[in-house]
Amino acid sequence: MNAPDPSLRRRRKEARPQELLDAALSLFVEKGFAASRAEEVAARAGVSKGTLYLYFPSKEELLKAVIAHCLSERIAEGAAKAADFTGPAADLLRDLLAQWWEHAYDSPAGAVFKLVMTEVRNFPDIAEFYVHEVIGPAQQLLASILQRGIDNGEFREVDLGVAVHSLVLPLIMVCVHKYSIGACQVEGAWPFDGRAFIRQHIELVLQGLLRPAAA
C-alpha cells in the first residue's frame, strides 16, 4: 500500500479553516447562531469538535472569523483600490459598490447580513466586533470617496453620513431579502432581480449626488 502523499495532507490542512468557515456560515444561517452547536459545525465540515477548537477557540470566535472573511477582507480590498484610483469619484464609487454588492449577493457572504441583524442583539461582543470591523471601515471608505467627489466639484455638498446610509442600507436589505422572503416560495410576490436592483440603485443615488453639470 502506498503511503499517503504528505503534500495532499498539507493542502487538506491548509484548506480546513475555509471549510470550517463555510460550514459555520451555512449552519448559522440555517439554524441561527444561538441554536447552532460547535459539534454540528464540525460534523458539517467533516472534522472532530477538537479539530474545530484548534482553529477557533469558541463559537463566537468562529462567527467573528466568518464576518472578517466574508466582509472585512472585501472592504480592505476596496480601500486599497480607492487609494490607487485617479479617475472620477463617481466611477470609483460605481465600480466598488457594484463589484462588492454583486459578489455579496451572489455568494454566501450575503447571508452574513441576515445573520448579524437577527443575532447580534443577544451577543454584544459580536455586535462590537461587527461595528469595528465592518461598519466603521465601510463608512470611512465611502465617506472618503464622497468627500473626494465634493472636493473636485463632481458631487453636491451633502451630509456624508446620510449619503453613506442612503447608498448602503437598501443594498443590505437586498441580501437580507434573498435569505428571508426571497428564500420562500410565496404566491403573488413580485419577481425580484437582486443584481438589477443593485445596479439601478447605485445609479439612482449617484444621479442625486452629481452636480447638475456633471450629471
Sequence ranges of the domains in the chain: 1-57, 67-209
Q: What is the pLDDT of residue 8?
A: 43
- Identical fold, 1-57 and 67-209: no
- Model confidence over 79-93: pLDDT tens digits? 999 999 999 999 999
Closest CA to 199 of 77, 82, 100: 100
Helix axes 194-209, 160-178, angle to 10 degrees: 170
- Model confidence over 114-168: pLDDT tens digits? 889 888 888 999 999 999 999 999 999 999 999 999 999 999 999 999 999 999 9
Which class is domain 1-57? mainly alpha
The pLDDT mean for the chain works out to 89
State how far the Cα of 215 lies from the Cα of 84, in Å rounded to an integer: 24
Tell me how far CA of residue 105 lies from CA of 15, 71, 195, in angstroms.
24, 12, 7
Mapped onto helix, strand or coil, the DSSP state of residue 193 is: coil
Contacts of 130 (CB under 8 A, 6+ apart): 67, 116, 120
197, burial (CB in 10 Å: exposed 0-12, middle 13-18, buried 19+): middle
Q: What is the pLDDT of residue 179?
A: 87
Confidence category of residue 16, pLDDT binned at 50, 70, 90: confident
Closest CA to 20 of 33, 29, 34, 49: 49
Between residues 188 and 96, the one the model is more confident about: 96
Whether the pLDDT of residue 12 is over 60: the answer is: no
| Superfamily covering domain 67-209 | Tetracycline Repressor, domain 2 (1.10.357.10)
Whether the pLDDT of residue 29 is over 90: the answer is: no
Residue matched to cell numbers 447562531:
33
Please give the average per-residue pLDDT across 106-114, as a whole number.
91
Whether the pLDDT of residue 4 is over 70: the answer is: no
Identify residue 120 by its one-letter amino acid code: V
Please tell me the pTM assigned to this model: 0.85
Whether the pLDDT of residue 169 is over 70: the answer is: yes
